[in-house]
Structure 1
Amino acid sequence: CSSSMADKDEISPLIANGASDISESAENSESSSTYRGANIFLLITLSVSNFFAALSFSVLSPFFPGAAEAKGISLTLTGIIIGEFELMIFLSSPFVVHIAAHVGNRFVYICGLFICGTCSVLFGVLEYCPNGSTFAIMCLLTRGIGAFGGGIFLVSSFAILAHSFPDKVSTVTGIVEMALGLGYMVGPALGGAFYDLGGFRLPFFTVGGLVLLTAVAAYLITPALPAESGGHNRSASFLKFFSIPIALAILISYAATGAMYGMLDATMEPYLTAAFHFSSTIIGLIFLTPSLVYTLSAVLWGRLTDSMGWGIGVLIFGLIGCTIGVFFINPASFVLPIKPTLFTLLPALVLVGLGSSAVMIPVYGLCLDAAYANGMDENIATINLVSGVTNSAYSLGVFIGPTLGGRLYDTIGFDKLLFAYSGLFVVCAVLLGIARVYSRYKNVKLAESPKASADVPCPASTVDSPAAIEHSLFPRSRRSSISCLASHYSYQYTVQIIESPRANRFGGFGAAASSA
């Protein structure tokens, strides 16, 4: 009997501990569900705000050149007013790295929306400006300040995405890029319709008002980010990032894609008018083709990059698609002497949309992976730096594309211009392949060094529980948390970290893990 009582005394604490563990597990599961729900809600908010911001960026394109001409502004100056938007984003994006380090990404994100919306409304008032230089100067100032707001908004919104979804960066980037693409597609159509209904003011008042409402909603809805103590007050090194070969190759490919879009925007309309005698409506529908394909395929490329680890493969496929698509828009006669038709043009534009989407969607996640794999800190400073640099690279391409494209169109002809861009994409693919091989070789050499095989303790605080997620800037994946859980219950042991979940997309970056 006494033996039975002793057994009960020993079992009771175990039962109590088991019940406590079950209760704690249930609470953690509930907290985890709440965390995931909040992140999904954040993703929806960011997608909606990016959609309305894209409307404000693109709403003026169908009617502003004619309105500016009526105000006595030359076509060249009109092009500068429209093109300065991307130039200002290129110049302002890197500064977000330093601004966000002091005030936080949420504040920068909301301020960027307010600036975009306010400048859009003010642009509608410029109808009352005197004709000539006064109107031109005010347009340049208003659009320039709005572009600054757009730049800081875009950089901070993608930084918030990477902060909130560290293991699904390309997937959520694809979703938000889809929203941006829809905004850029719908914007010109809405702008033309509103201009016909209410004149110059209505498009800017309507879209600007929607952006301001979105900014208020973002202020009320967007949750405060966890404390960014892991690098919030420190700046990441631009020089260190630009010394990473594969990051440079990715950025060059990204800028080349932006330049292609800018070139096509400036040259497709005169080519289609001269070669096919299409009406403005048909030309608008043709312009819609690559944008629609880009938007529909964006999420697919994001999923393939994150789930399958095919980031570099997806990007190279995109470069090949752009090479073929751009060439067949109007094949160079000295290479392939065929007459361009609508049946060659439309498939070529589909390839352009598919290829450009495959190039652009993995860029942000791949650059983050490259930075982390080459020793940069996994903190908010690195996220801001990568977001700023990638946005600057694309905006620089979009600014250079129409500037050089228009001139080369007149001097060498459209077919030779497209052939040159096809060659540029081939060069980008070769550079990317060389950089990938170099990165693989470099990481194999690191794996063979004594330092690479040293044991690294895994602290108990990194357990992938909801509580840890709340207080950790970069929650680890399930694979990493298994090792940390072992450390949590075996205090006297340390666990060797042999693999980073972010390393797989490059093939070579995970070489240290496979050799270990």
Structure 2
Amino acid sequence: MDQSKETSPLLNSGASKNYSDGENGAYASHKQGASIEEAQVQGSSSSNENQPFSIGGLSKRQKTVFVLLALANLYSGCGFSLLAPFFPQEAAKKGASGTAIGLIFSSFELVIFIFSPIYGNYLTRIGAKFMFVSGILVGGSCSVLFGLLNKCPSGEIFVVMCFAVRSVEALGLTGLLTASFAIISNEFPNHVATVFGALETASGIGMMIGPSLGGLIYQIGGFGPPFYLMGGLIFLNGALMFKFLPEIEDASSPRKQGIWKLLTSVSVWMSMIIILSASIGISFTDPTLSPHLEQFNLSPALIGLVFTIAPALYGLSTPFFGYLSDTKGYIFSILILGNLGNGIAYLLIGPTPYLPFLPSQLWVVIVGMIVLGLSIGAAVIPTVKCMLLGACDIGFENNLDTYGIISGFFNSVWCLGGFLGPTLGGVLVNEIGFNKASSVIALFSFFSVLCSVIYSVVNKVKQKAVIGSVDLQVSYSQIPKEPPPIESV
């Protein structure tokens, strides 16, 4: 029997080509009770899915959705990073302590961590379009309000208002992020990882230009104008989304499983470990790398340039890794290489004292940032598809409701890492120094490599068992149920 016909319809035929390599074998027959005929139908229904992603090949509806999502991610990334160059100084003038300023920044991730699963659970009841558009409008409103906070009295009132506005803005972004991934999965079912990677590029561009744009406008017009401008752009994007974003319908039957059943999937747990590890690592550098670079007597502009290396390469590489995940099916190979690259990158950025042949020079740090930028996308992007496949493997339907739940968990775990990374990084650097602290962060990535390898090996064992069982059923089905009649002489 042709093995490619055993592949789950969630996997396109590109993934089926690597079935024999064990990349997706565990999902080949996630409904083990299905008949041979059903498996054959599933295989034939996916025969046209192995089409490379291209803008020209999209329908008018898909192009509209893609462009609007890209703009939303661009503005969101820009708005999130806009205040980095000037807010700490302004907040200090208002009497905010360094700890309070750090908590104002990290409260954003904490709110998203708490509310993302809740938003994902109620996505289909609220409506994907409504959640997306309302999230944008809330974010735009809060951006404008944040620009007015310099009018607040100094001291506790200023700090409390910053927390309040930042937290409500995070609630809006939670709705945007949760609905965004669900819309991607619904509109581009055969290219989920590719489109997700492309939108991550847009978000990365926003994160890169946000500090520069914010600093420039702040220098020209003061505290308020950067937030007013960004709030206006976000509002405009929200109006366009309301006008042109198609309604996202979900005609599936009501979900029987609770959202926490998702945590019974080993694949989902593995994905969340990888996401958490990657997020802790990338956010670890936010408060710690700049002081580490001061030993090289770099100007603030050059330090900023070093910071942009990893986000720039991440944004450029994510569509490629999404393409490999969608059309080639190299999910576990990419995950293993990506996490291995992350671990090596943090050893270089330190550089780790446990590899004495690594010199403590600027070029080593730059090489580490380059490796990190290329590997972080490989470690993160395939987890999206891995979580979706794991959810369907335990009985969740391949529908908008499931996409929302997965989106909620993905964003929640990512933001948990974004909250823990700077906190853990600050503690480790104070206690053991940056070199050893980066080595500890590298261990998180190497642990993710170990999880991926173990899971991949178990996958191959299960795959061989499934193939052997199917082949046995086929052989048995070919045995005549009655002996042939004896021909008379």
Under a length normalisation based on structure 1, what TM-score does the superposition of the two structures give?
0.78
- Report the counterpart of residue 274 of structure 2 in structure 1: 253
- Report the counterpart of residue 120 of structure 1 in structure 2: 143
Q: 1:452 to 1:81 in 2, by over 3 A?
A: farther
The answer (yes or no) to whether the contact 1:93–1:391 under 8 Å persists in 2 is yes
1:433 and 1:354 map into 2 onto residues whose CA distance is 20
In the TM superposition, residue 446 of structure 1 has moved relative to its aligned partner by 4.9
Match of 1:289 among 295, 298, 309: 309
Q: 1:338 to 1:71 in 2, by over 3 A?
A: same
Correspondence 1:94-493 to 2 at 5 A:
94-225=117-248, 227-231=249-253, 233-234=254-255, 236-273=257-294, 275-446=295-466
Larger relative CO (CA 8 A, sep 6+): 1 or 2?
2
The answer (yes or no) to whether the contact 2:351–2:364 under 8 Å persists in 1 is no
CA offsets 1:465-503 (integer angstroms, 9 cap, x no match):
xxxxxxxxxxxxxxxxxxxxxxxxxxxxxxxxxxxxxxx
1:419 and 1:142 map into 2 onto residues whose CA distance is 36
The answer (yes or no) to whether the contact 1:113–1:212 under 8 Å persists in 2 is yes
1:235 and 1:375 map into 2 onto residues whose CA distance is 9
Counterpart of 1:149 in 2: which secondary structure? helix
The answer (yes or no) to whether the contact 1:405–1:417 under 8 Å persists in 2 is yes
The answer (yes or no) to whether the contact 1:98–1:235 under 8 Å persists in 2 is no
- Report the counterpart of residue 47 of structure 2 in structure 1: none
2:251 and 2:464 map into 1 onto residues whose CA distance is 33
The answer (yes or no) to whether the contact 1:301–1:358 under 8 Å persists in 2 is yes
Q: 1:107 to 1:235 in 2, by over 3 A?
A: farther
Counterpart of 1:361 in 2: which secondary structure? helix
- Report the counterpart of residue 18 of structure 1 in structure 2: none
Greater C-alpha Rg? 1
2:264 and 2:364 map into 1 onto residues whose CA distance is 41
Q: 1:268 to 1:93 in 2, by over 3 A?
A: same
Which moves more between the two structures, 367-376 or 60-69? 367-376
Give the letter for the 2:412 counterpart: S
In the TM superposition, residue 44 of structure 1 has moved relative to its aligned partner by 1.0
In the TM superposition, residue 444 of structure 1 has moved relative to its aligned partner by 4.4
Give the letter for the 2:140 counterpart: G
1:449 and 1:95 map into 2 onto residues whose CA distance is 40
The answer (yes or no) to whether the contact 2:343–2:443 under 8 Å persists in 1 is yes
Q: 1:431 to 1:35 in 2, by over 3 A?
A: closer
1:316 and 1:266 map into 2 onto residues whose CA distance is 27
1:283 and 1:144 map into 2 onto residues whose CA distance is 29
Q: 1:349 to 1:35 in 2, by over 3 A?
A: closer
Match of 1:44 among 54, 57, 67: 67
Correspondence 1:19-34 to 2 at 5 A:
none
Give the letter for the 2:426 counterpart: G
Match of 2:88 among 59, 65, 74: 65
1:414 and 1:309 map into 2 onto residues whose CA distance is 38
1:34 and 1:418 map into 2 onto residues whose CA distance is 44
In the TM superposition, residue 235 of structure 1 has moved relative to its aligned partner by 6.2
1:319 and 1:34 map into 2 onto residues whose CA distance is 33
CA offsets 1:340-376 (integer angstroms, 9 cap, x no match):
2122121110000111111122221221122223332
CA offsets 1:20-55 (integer angstroms, 9 cap, x no match):
xxxxxxxxxxxxx99722112211110111111111
Q: 1:307 to 1:145 in 2, by over 3 A?
A: same
2:328 and 2:337 map into 1 onto residues whose CA distance is 15
1:403 and 1:82 map into 2 onto residues whose CA distance is 11
The answer (yes or no) to whether the contact 1:258–1:394 under 8 Å persists in 2 is yes
2:268 and 2:121 map into 1 onto residues whose CA distance is 21
The answer (yes or no) to whether the contact 1:246–1:432 under 8 Å persists in 2 is no
In the TM superposition, residue 413 of structure 1 has moved relative to its aligned partner by 1.0
Counterpart of 1:46 in 2: which secondary structure? helix
1:204 and 1:65 map into 2 onto residues whose CA distance is 15
**Is it true that 1:85 corresponds to 2:108 in the alignment?**
yes
Q: 1:246 to 1:433 in 2, by over 3 A?
A: farther
The answer (yes or no) to whether the contact 2:185–2:400 under 8 Å persists in 1 is no
1:388 and 1:147 map into 2 onto residues whose CA distance is 14
CA offsets 1:112-166 (integer angstroms, 9 cap, x no match):
0011100000001111100000000000000000001111111111110001111
Q: Which blocks of at least 5 consecutive residues in structure 1 are unaligned?
A: 1-32, 455-516
Q: 1:34 to 1:272 in 2, by over 3 A?
A: closer
Give the letter for the 1:261 counterpart: I
Counterpart of 2:391 in 1: which secondary structure? helix
Q: Which blocks of at least 5 consecutive residues in structure 2 are unaligned?
A: 1-55, 475-489
1:73 and 1:432 map into 2 onto residues whose CA distance is 43
Q: Matched residues, percent identical?
A: 32
1:388 and 1:237 map into 2 onto residues whose CA distance is 14
CA offsets 1:170-204 (integer angstroms, 9 cap, x no match):
11001100000001101111110111011010010
Under a length normalisation based on structure 2, what TM-score does the superposition of the two structures give?
0.82
2:130 and 2:472 map into 1 onto residues whose CA distance is 40
2:383 and 2:357 map into 1 onto residues whose CA distance is 35
